[in-house]
Amino acid sequence: MLLTLPAHAQLDSLGGLTGKFSRYQRAALPEKLFLHLDRPVYSVGETMWFKVYAVDGTYSKPLPLSTVAYVEVLNAERQPVLQATVALRQATGHGSFQLPGGLASGSYTVRAYTSWMQNFGPEYFFQTTVSILNGFAASAPVPTADSAAVDVQFFAEGGTLVRGLRNRVAFKVTGRHGRGLAASGRILDRQGQVVGTCQTLRFGMGSFELRPVTDGPYSALITLADKRIVRQVLPPVAEQGYVLRLESTSPSQLTLHVESTNNQSETLALLVHARQQIAVATQALLQGGRASFVIDKARLLPGIVHFTVFDSRQQPLAERLYFQRPAAADFLTAHPDKSQYGSREKVAVQLTTTAPAVNLSIAVYRLDSLNTAPSPGIAAYLNLSADLRGFVENPDYYLNTSDPAAEAATDNLMLTQGWSRFRWAEVQAAYPPAFAHLPELNGPTIRVQLTQAGTDQPRPGLTAYLSSPSRLIRLTNGLSDANGIVRFELPELAGERDLILQADLRQDSTCQLRLLSPFSPRYAQVPMPALGLAARWQADYARRHFQAQVQQAYAAPAALSTPKALADSTAFYGLADETYLLDKYTRFKVMEEVLREYVPGVMVRIRKDGFRLMVLNKLTKIPFEESPLVLMDGVPVFDINKLMAVNPLKIRKLEVVDGRYFHGHTVYPGIISFSTYKGDLEGFPLSAHALLQQYEGVQEQREFYAPRYETALEKQSRRPDLRNLLYWNPEFTLPATAPHTLEFYTGDQAGRYQAVIQGLTADGQATSQSFIFEVKTPL
């Protein structure tokens, strides 16, 4: 968590403010995820493929902190319809969703986050919008205009309108689904007199100047392009306060002007930081209600930069955002060997890079009238969208365009969508904040809450066990904290499994257990565009539906398989001291006879309450006085009488650890492990206090399958090939040593195809490349 270093030379400047900020930055290391989706539009029955990039929030370098990412598909009501837990290895991972036929046609949000990111709110999660079509269900209605859905917001530069001071005010006009609307307007005072005008530039944003002479309220009459008029009240006017004005005074310098109603001399502090990394820490004297700070642009990190002004008591007065455009990423080139291909013809894409190595993901899909929305680029997301609250329309525009109109549009974006991921009260607190969600360093962390029976009162200090019946003996334990929460780590938990959770019945036989979902229940209020199924596109809808159905009906067996990952078959306790495969011995019908006859390391005792097992210490040759840990297919058994009633013919193997075994915070005086033939407990009755629950572990990765037409016989195959997605490669590392060629084959569908490549280098350089080629089929 120390991958980003603080500005050590400034630790004691500004009265210790920079030191507090750096301490907070180290404790609250920002983490970001970017999701590369294979395409923007899907049909039910198709597979949604995705690649996850995990980076640190300061330099966008690959960050191998979390080993698990959570990916969800949300409907229009922000309810999850699909969820997956994806393993991350060395800061990348990939997975897929098979889209069920029950999904309605519409727009859906795909979001991704880690456990650590949940500490900072859902606005920090990666989010993008996709469209899903369902040809089996009725079409959704085409959205109609709704004047009530128009939203007009005003933002004073620095945060507050102050009476008597010149204020720059930005505004934003958006429609129902968050897209900007062109508009013009008049600014009115309390008496209805026009005191100014305003006009949007790009994406429904603009700005104007206003010097309030009264305490308001001021309002605006906004006229839209369709002649609708919307009236909106401006933010309230403060009698006293501070106003900021940031100007680019030269190609290499910025000047931040501060005006105040306070005419007394005061020392102001300015902290300039980007992605929680200090760039500038300086002071200026406020005299006559004015002060200025001059900043060298070369000292700023690329991306969103925060300018925060503090008074002499280190209280934040005002804040302003600025966008430092990153240098163009031209280290990767990609182009096909031809611009036009026939059906079932090989496409060769040549990739070259000047970087030492680039981690890439590549998708090639068919373009039609439904695939008009551009895919989000990794560079625009990491440098811009990830550090702004809410929806950013066409973020690539701000990175790739540098004319004066783009500069003005960028400034308007900074004024209307400012956001700090933290509160200054937390930064200046005496102690670092306590985070409820810890990073998952070694695989999924399963959280269970223990409560007192019949109440919601937490039960701290209890030992709990988590196991999954299997031929692989896995067990983990934990101690409940003050909130009754126990955290379990099971690095090899993959696919759908049955989990058994138990509290130690010797400590508390009545407490209740509840498995907590790892997915976040909080959702960002991000507008989602509606999917209007227009009549003029019915042919495209029908073609997509037909293509998806044909592909499912004639899918090759390789396209449907999910390869199983290899797992370590060694039990969690390693090699046992004694191992007995019972089929090699004379079979007895009573478990007591098996233990007495074959297992010298286990002693059977009968007391008033029934059977008791004791392990003989191999070092002292004296039985442990405490009861050992007894397992059935990896599940702890506390009632030995139930175990002794099991038919021994159901048991395949018996293992004994005849010494003390240290496991987490618990020490076992020996272990006795019984294994059935299938690892499914063979009907063994669990304790009534055990919680049995189905759980979806880390997603088992499917491999993308695409047919190859290398021979004339393969090209003449009668199996139809109507793939919409020609190629998907989520994990490819391109070295700088020599050009590399990727090969795939076209299908039977004519049309234009787009290749989208996302890439990230080890030092945090991000790039998004794309090209288009055409496929023509013979008449």
Dump pLDDT digits (tens) for 322-342. Answer: 999 998 888 999 999 999 999
**Hunting for tokens 């280290």 — which residue is that?**
331
Find the helix or strand (DSSP H, E) in which 427 lies. helix 424-427
Higher pLDDT, 216 or 331: 331
The whole-number average pLDDT for the span 592-614 is: 92
Look at 165-174, 245-254, 349-358, 364-373 and tell me which has the smallest mean pLDDT.
Answer: 364-373
Q: How far apart are CA 131 and CA 365, in angstroms?
A: 15
Q: Which amino acid is at 596?
A: R
Q: How far apart are CA 645 and CA 611, in angstroms?
A: 10
pLDDT of residue 141 exceeding 50, the answer is no
Per DSSP bridges, beta strands 41-43 and 126-133 are parallel
HSE-CB at 379 with a 13 A cutoff on CA atoms is: 24
Q: How far apart are CA 607 and CA 669, in angstroms?
A: 20
Nearest 10 degrees: Cα torsion 231, 235, 240, 243: -110
Higher pLDDT, 372 or 183: 183
Six-digit token string for 557: 């067996």
The whole-number average pLDDT for the span 560-565 is: 60
- Tens-digit pLDDT profile for residues 728-738: 999 999 988 77
Q: In the sheet where 316-324 sits, what is the strand order? A: 277-286, 266-274, 303-310, 316-324
Q: What is the pLDDT of residue 2?
A: 39
pLDDT of residue 222 exceeding 70, the answer is yes
pLDDT of residue 762 exceeding 50, the answer is yes
Find the helix or strand (DSSP H, E) in which 74 lies. strand 68-74
**Hunting for tokens 């100047």 — which residue is that?**
209
Higher pLDDT, 214 or 761: 761
The pLDDT > 90 percentage for the chain reads 65
Look at 134-143, 189-198, 465-474 and tell me which has the smallest mean pLDDT.
Answer: 134-143
Q: What is the pLDDT of residue 464?
A: 94
The whole-number average pLDDT for the span 65-89 is: 94
HSE-CB at 132 with a 13 A cutoff on CA atoms is: 28
As a whole number of Å, the CA-based R_g of the chain is: 32
pTM, entire model: 0.90
Q: What is the pLDDT of residue 535?
A: 65
DSSP state of 414: H
Cβ 768 vs Cβ 757: under 8 Å: yes
Cβ 173 vs Cβ 150: under 8 Å: yes
HSE-CB at 644 with a 13 A cutoff on CA atoms is: 16
pLDDT of residue 491 exceeding 80, the answer is no
The whole-number average pLDDT for the span 120-139 is: 85
Find the helix or strand (DSSP H, E) in which 644 lies. helix 640-644
The whole-number average pLDDT for the span 459-477 is: 92
Cβ 121 vs Cβ 87: under 8 Å: no
- Could you tell me the pLDDT band of residue 5, with boundaries at 50, 70 and 90? very low
pLDDT of residue 1 exceeding 70, the answer is no
Six-digit token string for 716: 């003449």
Q: What is the pLDDT of residue 28?
A: 87
Q: What is the pLDDT of residue 449?
A: 94
Look at 119-128, 138-147, 288-297, 469-478 and tell me which has the smallest mean pLDDT.
Answer: 138-147
Q: How far apart are CA 595 and CA 597, in angstroms?
A: 6
Q: What is the pLDDT of residue 9?
A: 40
Q: What is the pLDDT of residue 672?
A: 96
The whole-number average pLDDT for the span 41-62 is: 93
Q: Which residues contact 344 (CB under 8 A, 6 or more apart)?
A: 709, 714, 715, 721, 745, 746, 747, 748
pLDDT of residue 440 exceeding 80, the answer is yes
- Could you tell me the pLDDT band of residue 531, with boundaries at 50, 70 and 90? low
Q: Which residues pair with 579 in a beta bridge?
A: 655
pLDDT of residue 148 exceeding 70, the answer is no
- Could you tell me the pLDDT band of residue 79, with boundaries at 50, 70 and 90? very high
pLDDT of residue 371 exceeding 90, the answer is no
To the question of domain 578-696 being in CATH 2.170.130.10, the answer is: yes
Per DSSP bridges, beta strands 357-367 and 725-735 are antiparallel
Tell me the three-class secondary structure of 238-252, residue by residue: ECCCEEEEEEEEECC
Measure CA 379 to chain center. Answer: 16
pLDDT of residue 559 exceeding 70, the answer is no
- Could you tell me the pLDDT band of residue 767, with boundaries at 50, 70 and 90? very high
The whole-number average pLDDT for the span 207-220 is: 91
pLDDT of residue 650 exceeding 50, the answer is yes
DSSP state of 18: H
Q: Are both 147-324 and 578-696 of the same fold?
A: no
**Within a 10 A sphere around the Cβ of 516, how many other Cβ atoms?**
12
Question: Mean pLDDT across the chain, nearest whole number?
Answer: 89
- Could you tell me the pLDDT band of residue 271, with boundaries at 50, 70 and 90? very high
- Could you tell me the pLDDT band of residue 14, with boundaries at 50, 70 and 90? confident
Question: Taking the alpha carbons of 710, 716, 719, 722 in that order, is the dihedral positive or negative?
Answer: positive
Q: Which residues contact 75 (CB under 8 A, 6 or more apart)?
A: 81, 104, 106, 108
Q: What is the pLDDT of residue 565?
A: 62
Cα angle, residue 776 at apex, residues 772 and 779 outer, rounded to 5°: 165
DSSP state of 566: P
State the first-to-last Cα distance of the chain, in angstroms, to the nearest integer: 60
Q: Coil, helix or strand for 116? A: helix
Q: What is the pLDDT of residue 557?
A: 66
pLDDT of residue 419 exceeding 70, the answer is no
**Hunting for tokens 């067996």 — which residue is that?**
557
Measure CA 26 to chain center. Answer: 21
CATH number of this structure's domain 147-324: 2.60.40.1930
Tell me the three-class secondary structure of 357-370, residue by residue: EEEEEEEEEEECCC
- The full set of domain ranges for the chain reads 147-324, 445-516, 578-696
Q: What is the pLDDT of residue 564?
A: 63
Q: How far apart are CA 99 and CA 103, in angstroms?
A: 7
